[in-house]
Amino acid sequence: MTDTAQYPHLLSPLQVGSVTLRNRIVSTGHGTRLASGRIASEALIAYHEARAKGGAGLIITEAAMIDEEGVYSESHLVVDTDKVIPSLARLADAVHAHGAKLFGQVFHLGLEQMSELDGRRAAALGPSGGMSERYHVSGRVMPKAKIKQLIQKFGTAAARMRTAGFDGIEVAASHGYLIAQFLSPQINQRTDEYGGSDENRLRFLLEVLAEIRAQVGPDMPIGVRISGDELASDGLTPDEVLGVCDRLEAQGGVAYFNVTSGSSRQAGSAIHIVPPMSTDMALTAGYAAEIKKRVSAPVMAVGRINHAGTAEDVLSSDQADFCGMTRALITDPEFPNKLMAGQANDVRVCIGCNQACIDRMHRGYGVSCIQHPETGRELKFGTVTTAPQPKTVLIAGGGPGGLKAAAAAAARGHKVTLYEASGRLGGQAQIAQLLPRRAEFGGIIGNLEREARAAGADIKLNTKVDRAMIEAANPDAVIIATGAKTFRPELDGIDEAHVLDAWEVLESRANIGGRVVIADWRCDWIGLGLAEKLAKDGCSVRLVSTGHVAGEMIPKYMRDLWLGEMHKLGVDLIPMARLFGVDDDSVYFQHIASHEPVICEDVDTVVLAQGHRPVTQLEESLSDWTGKVHVIGDALAARTAEEAVLEGLEAGAAP
């Protein structure tokens, strides 16, 4: 029995060329770092299979490199030899077994190649040389012979995907990568038939499409991914993109248009590739709508379409024909099935934090999710098995880690009771959501609480756990998730100055002077968020951090967005300085490399973002207790919600 009444457009079929999609929910091409040896690993196959099993209509593989010379990591999918075909066939079989369709994205970085496989800086190729501002790469002019070779390689890559059983092909002409570089009149300065006029700059893409068509046959759908606006000083503008789409429409043969935004080439435009929380929902829907007016093929909108309701609005208003909902599927692979079953309220909603998905990929690790660490770990945690012998589990602490532990343990059939000392769940997530641009982070609390209660965990508030309670309850296992408290270092002069910690400021528990220095050891969301809040409150703000740049430890798209805001607000950013001392109107730092003093004078208030320390009293009281004890999250070491939730899953799966 299915329920499509609430989302009649989103859950309806869509014809894309010769292929019928069962619904309009798409997992778009995105880096996973789950490939191994440049082929589809079992982990990558399991990852995509989970989304097919969860009900997605279409899965598009990550950007598959078509030329080994453009590859910089063994964890990227590469389709330049036949050795990849068997693994791609296993991927296709896994996706098809659950009724989803599978398209493969073919791709080349061009000037955006950071390095080569052996780690040396790349000798990157672009239409007419040039430089990548973001990766500091100086490129070479692509010879015409190489252009012809790459056109053929796009075709042979697509042919390998067809041989493997893929249903369609997507050509990546987006985000300032190679094909987009050819399209851009600012980047492409060639004077031969591949540069100059609009027609000449389009020639490379048209010949790529023609070669793919020749190699895959007449029936296989071929789509194009393009940025509706690259939002970069040297990128494609909306008018230029519309002109490209007009010419593609006139040429014919494009089965669909996947409309995104942004460019990899500049920091301010790159944030739109995977837009973080605080950016608009359905970020590219306006661009998609303009293209949809001019083309006959279906058009896809992407970018912060995290809610089924948002997707339904985009489709029902005729802005697009289907929706890329990649992070929604990362967070909850089952969400299409939940919609079909009329269980929309049970969907785990993406909060747009970018912390364990795109940031893990940027750091070279496999994709996952801060709320759902089973993602990317399907081979280990993808199947929940009932415990052969149910146990009693007591959890101390109702933050994200404790809630995830409760959900995981209860799902296995254990009798779980979670105790939270305060009157509300969420731990530090309650404070984190008070930061500017972080309100959406609070969604993690409701999502994890719902998951824990649905699994059968008993949750009790206003109850502090101590050893006497544990001895009286005599559980089989105790999970300690008591979190952390703010750290206030011993400082010379601290009694003379007006010194506050971050939590006091965010919870409006203190008066703040007009001239503020933020001493930021963490180099994360807290320092940047405090600076924005106080600057907008009218304070003169200096943000002094120990890192090479403020926000050094957070996902780069969120960091870069915030650094842009700091510039607009006039916040004075002082990097590479550690806190040394304070007095009644000055703050003393030491440069972390030169050890020379850095002094901030004329200061009314000092705000400390000096990290946290674990709350360990319960753990210490159980040092000689004979039962099983797991310590997770900040109670183990002060870190982030990502570690807390993962360790909650691990502990909940362990009893």
Active site residues per annotation? 177
For 352: left if phi > 0, alpha if psi spans -120 to 50, otherwise beta; the answer is left
Contacts of 30 (CB under 8 A, 6+ apart): 62, 274, 326, 357, 358, 361, 367
Give yes or no for a contact between 104 and 170, defined as CB atoms under 8 angstroms apart.
yes
Q: What DSSP designation does 24 have?
A: S
Among residues 37, 179, 55, the alpha carbon closest in space to that of 105 is found at 179
Provide the residue type at 602 as one letter: D
DSSP 491: -
CA–CA gap between residue 361 and residue 355 (Å, rounded): 10
Whether 65 and 79 have beta carbons less than 8 Å apart is answered as yes
Query: DSSP of 371-405, one letter per residue?
Result: S-TTTT-HHHHSS----SS--EEEEE--SHHHHHH
* Rounded to 5°, angle at Cα 243 from 240 and 246: 155
Residue 644 neighbours by CB under 8 Å, 6+ apart:
399, 400, 401, 404, 481, 632, 633, 634
Listed in sequence order, the residues at least 6 apart from 441 whose beta carbon sits closer than 8 Å to its beta carbon are 277, 351, 353, 429, 432, 433, 435
Terminal Cα-to-Cα distance of the chain (whole angstroms): 36
543 touches 574 (CB < 8 A): yes
Q: Partners of 222 in the beta sheet? A: 169
DSSP character at residue 73: -
Determine how many CB atoms are found less than 10 A away from the CB of residue 460. 11
Give CA angle at 330 (326, 331), nearest 5°: 120
| E strand residue ranges, 108-183 | 125-126, 130-132, 137-141, 168-172
Neighbours of 67 (CB within 10 A): 20
